[in-house]
Amino acid sequence: MLADPAAFILGQTRLQPVSHAPEISLWLADEVTPIWRLTEEELGEMGVPPPFWAFAWAGGQALARYVLDHPERVRGKRVLDLAAGSGLVGVAAMKAGAAYVQCADIDPFCEAAVRLNAEANNVALEFTDQDLLEDAPPAFDVICAGDVFYERPMAERVIAWLDQARNQGSTVLIGDPRRSYFPTGRLVQLAEYAVPTTRELEDQAVKRSGVYALAE
């Protein structure tokens, strides 16, 4: 059990505007390696996944930008931010007029990160740490997923689950810079952005990232 994840986040990150969605500010780290090492120390484990909540990844930034620029996609609707990390897309959805947003992530730091980022942006976000992929998708009008295709097992689980969600009536919006396990041919591109990022996270200083709808 983490003693005080919010205190850890406040001590190891700083509040800063998101490069491709400057209307939103998040508690973000400046370097990957130091906070990753400190995260392992805080959890008392080695080999833990990267602290995705501590960075604004390219796919999430693209999806947040799209939602802010196309508020009709979420206005008045119930929205799920799947694998939410920092809660960036959830914040964007609330700013765009969503009626309700739930962020879902299994990382033990994410609940505190989402709460702090919601407070910083004066929005209300709900949170669950349940692995939603283990059950049938819950009923949401819109399901958003950013940067979820970086590992094969995760990508396969996510796309199958999103297929099920779409078949149940949810609109599925995905943000991704076409990572290794991006499901080519399954998605309809809605927009593309040149997202400023950092060599700390990506192989390019500007990463082209698309927003997609899951095809029938």
Q: Give pLDDT tens digits for 124-171.
A: 999 999 999 999 999 999 999 999 998 899 999 999 999 999 999 999
Over residues 28-82, the pLDDT tens digits come to 998 876 676 766 666 565 555 678 899 999 999 999 999 999 999 999 999 999 9
118 sits in which H/E element: helix 110-120
Q: Which of residues 199 and 176 earns the better pLDDT score?
A: 176
CB contact at 8 A, 100 and 141: no
List, in sequence order, every beta strand (DSSP E) within the chain: 14-18, 21-28, 78-82, 100-104, 126-128, 142-146, 171-176, 187-196, 206-214
Q: What is the C-alpha to C-alpha distance for residues 141 and 71, in angstroms, rounded to an integer?
A: 14
Q: Considering Cα of 52, then 17, then 188, then 76, what sign does the dihedral take?
A: positive
The confidence score (pLDDT) of residue 86 equals: 97
Check whether 1 has a pLDDT greater than 60.
no
Residues 6+ apart with CB under 8 A from 160: none
Per-residue CA distances from 68 to 3, 63, 71, 75, 129 (Å): 35, 9, 6, 10, 26
**Taking the CB of residue 6, how many other CB atoms lie within 10 A of it?**
15
CA distance 81 to 148: 12
Q: What is the pLDDT of residue 208?
A: 93
- As a whole number of angstroms, the distance between CA 144 and CA 162 comes to 10
The pLDDT of residue 177 is above 70? yes
CA atoms within 13 A of residue 178's CA, in its CB half-sphere: 13
